[in-house]
Structure formats: structure tokens, C-alpha cells
Amino acid sequence: MENKVIILSAPSGCGKTTILKALMARQLPLEFSVSATSRQKRDGETDGRDYYFFTPEQFMEKVDAGEFLEWNEVYAGQYYGTLLSEVDRIAGNGHHVIFDVDVKGGLSIKERFGDRALAVFVMPPSIEVLRQRLLSRGTETPESVEKRLQRADYEISFSKQFDYVLVNDDLETAISEAYNLVNGFLIQ
């Protein structure tokens, strides 16, 4: 079996992680690639399950050592990336890799894997709906919401470069559509 990769990218608050978890629960032959970050751990997050958490200095040491498939400074002083060791681990298990990454990381992975990758951009139905989703999390300050919305405008500008744009207006519909896309891609 040739390993394939599934890339889910979206602005923060669009539901990509929820969609990813639903796909993982559907018994597809996928394994989640845990990303690395230099941001602070949120309540309830576990190192090695949600992210590999590093200080900015540790993160940059790994960048300098060539340990990342891709990485990016998503917010000032907050780095995110995909460790090569994580991709190798999943391939060694005989599974396809599914990524939950920022848009630049997603496009970088798509470029690297070509036709073996399916890149899906999860789109909010509107910026106002996205604002409400971010506020309802209860983890964001008004300033961080505005910062994320500014970032969302920028990220949405890349959506046309993805293989598929999935509008998450209704979560159950989006999950069903994502499942059909991913399953169809894996059985090709």
C-alpha cells in the first residue's frame, strides 16, 4: 500500500479539528500526525496527544537540526510545524497520515506529496459566524479573537490552492462530506 496523506487546513474556529476527530472515529485507515508548537498549552491539552509542546528556543533548535517536514511562525513568536519523525512513525505503522495544519503548512505538504495528498480547506460560512464560534470557545480574549479574524482573512485567500473547499455551515453535513471525500481518495 502506498501511503497517502490527508491535509485539513482552516482558520482557527472553523471546525477542522472536530471534523478530523469525526473522521478518525469512522475507522478509516488513518493516523493523526501530532503537530509541534511553541504556544502555551491550553487546559485539557496533553503533550504528545494534542501537540508536542516546545519553548520557542527548543522549536528553533529542531528547525535548525532539519527535524521538520514543514513549519511556520503562525502568530508572532508562536511556531507550528510537522516533525519528520511523526510522519515516519505513521508510515511505519502502515497507515495513511492525516494532518491538521495551518494553510501554509498544508500547501507545503501538498507540494511535497503531490498526487498522494488530498488537501481540504475548511471554510467558515461567514466571518461573523467565525467570530461567534471563537467567542463561544471561552478561551479567547477579545483581542485574540480580532487577531484570529485578521489571520482568517489572510488564510482564506489561499483556499483556492487546495484540492477541495469544504464549507462548514452545518457540522454533520460537513463531516459526511469530508468522509466521502477522504474515503473516495483513499480507495483510488
Range of 182's domain?
Answer: 5-187
Q: For 87-97, how does the pLDDT look when each residue is reduced to its tens digit (9 = 90+)? A: 999 999 999 99
Q: For 53-65, how does the pLDDT look when each residue is reduced to its tens digit (9 = 90+)? A: 999 999 999 999 9
User: In CATH, what number is assigned to the domain containing residue 122?
Assistant: 3.40.50.300
Q: For 70-79, how does the pLDDT look when each residue is reduced to its tens digit (9 = 90+)? A: 998 877 889 9
Q: Which residues contact 23 (CB under 8 A, 6 or more apart)?
A: 6, 30, 98, 175, 178, 179, 182
Secondary structure (DSSP) of the chain: ----EEEEE--TTSSHHHHHHHHHTTT-SEEE---EE-SPPPTT--BTTTBEE--HHHHHHHHHTT-EEEEEEEETTEEEEEEHHHHHHHHHTT-EEEEE--HHHHHHHHHHHGGGEEEEEEE-S-HHHHHHHHHHHS---HHHHHHHHHHHHHHHTTGGGSSEEEE-SSHHHHHHHHHHHHHHHHH-
- Is the pLDDT score of 148 beyond 90? no
Residue percentage of the chain with pLDDT more than 70 = 99
Can you give the pLDDT at residue 27? Answer: 85
Q: How many domains does the chain have?
A: 1
